[in-house]
Amino acid sequence: MVDIIDHDSVRELRLNRPPVNALDVPFIDALSKAIKEGSEAADALVLSGRPGMFSAGLDVPSLLQLDRAGTERFVRSFFGLMEMVARSPVPIASAITGHCPAGGTVIVLYSDYRVMCKGKYVMGLNEVQVGLPVPETIQGALARWVGRRHAERLVVAGQLIKPDYAYDIGLVDQVEEDAESTVKAAIDWCTRLVKTLPKEAMLTTRKIARADLTALFDNFGEADINRFTEGWFSPHTQAGLKKLVEQLGKK
C-alpha cells in the first residue's frame, strides 16, 4: 500500500491503495511503519500519491462498519500518524499530486513543506459538512500555516480550496504544472535542505522551530480519543456520513 522509492538520500513514500488512497487502519499502519523506517534510513522523506489523487481522506464506507472498539483503534492510528509526521526527526515534504480533501489534508498539515499540482484539484478540511467537528490538534496545525483568520473560515465552513488559493494563503508552499514536476519539486526541496546545510545545525534548528507544532500532541490522550469517537457515533454525524456514502455510490 506504500511504494518505497529512494532518490539518493531522500526516500519517496508513494501512497498506493487504489482507487483513491482512502485511509483505513491497515493503510494508516502501513504508512506509519514506512515513515518510521524511512526516517531511520534516509535523510528526508517525500509523501506522494498517484497523478490526480493524493488521498481522498477517510475510508468512510469501511469505517462505518466498525464497532466502537474498532473506531477507537482507528482514531488512535490516525492521530498517531499525525503525531509521527509532526515529530519526524527528518524533514518531510508532501507532493500533493491531485485531490487531497479531509484526511488527506490532515496528513500534509504536519509536514515541513507542501507542493501541490495545478488543476481542478482541491484540498481542505470539509469535516463540518458531514457533521464532524474539527479537533483542536488539527485546527492548530492549520492555523500555524494560514493564520487564525483563514483557518477559522476554512474549518467552520468546511471549505475545499484549489491550488492557487491554497498557495495564496500559505497552505501550500509551491504549485507545479503536473504530478511529475510536483514530486520532483518536493524531492529537490528535500535534497537542497539535506545536501547544502550542516546536518546537525539544520536538524536542531528545525526541531526548535517546530516545537509549537509538536506541542499540539503533548496533552493529547484518551479523553481526546473518546471525544472524537463520541462525535463519530452521534446521530447527526452518522446521518451525515451515511449520506456521504450514498452520494459517493451515485458517482
Domain of residue 173, CATH code: 3.90.226.10
The half-sphere exposure of 29 on its side-chain side, counting CA atoms within 13 A, is 6
Determine the pLDDT at residue 26. 97
Q: Are 52 and 98 in contact (CB under 8 A)?
A: yes
When divided into structural domains, the chain yields a total of 1
Q: Using CA atoms, how far apart are residues 203 and 197, in angstroms rounded to an integer?
A: 10
Domain containing 54 equals 2-235
Is residue 247 situated within a structural domain? no
DSSP 85-139: HHT-SS-EEEEE-EEEETHHHHHHHTSSEEEEE-SS--EE--GGGGTPPPPHHHH
pLDDT under 50: residue ranges of the chain: none
Is residue 244 situated within a structural domain? no
Determine the pLDDT at residue 247. 79
Q: What's the pTM?
A: 0.95
Determine the pLDDT at residue 250. 63
State the residue for C-alpha cell 484549489. 162
How do residues 87-116 score in pLDDT, each as one tens digit? 999 999 999 999 999 999 999 999 999 999
Is residue 7 situated within a structural domain? yes
Is residue 149 situated within a structural domain? yes
Cα-only R_g, the chain: 17
Is residue 75 situated within a structural domain? yes
DSSP 1-64: -EEEEEETTEEEEEE--TTTT-B-HHHHHHHHHHHHHHHHH-SEEEEE-BTEES---B-HHHHT
Q: Using CA atoms, how far apart are residues 248 and 235, in angstroms rounded to an integer?
A: 20
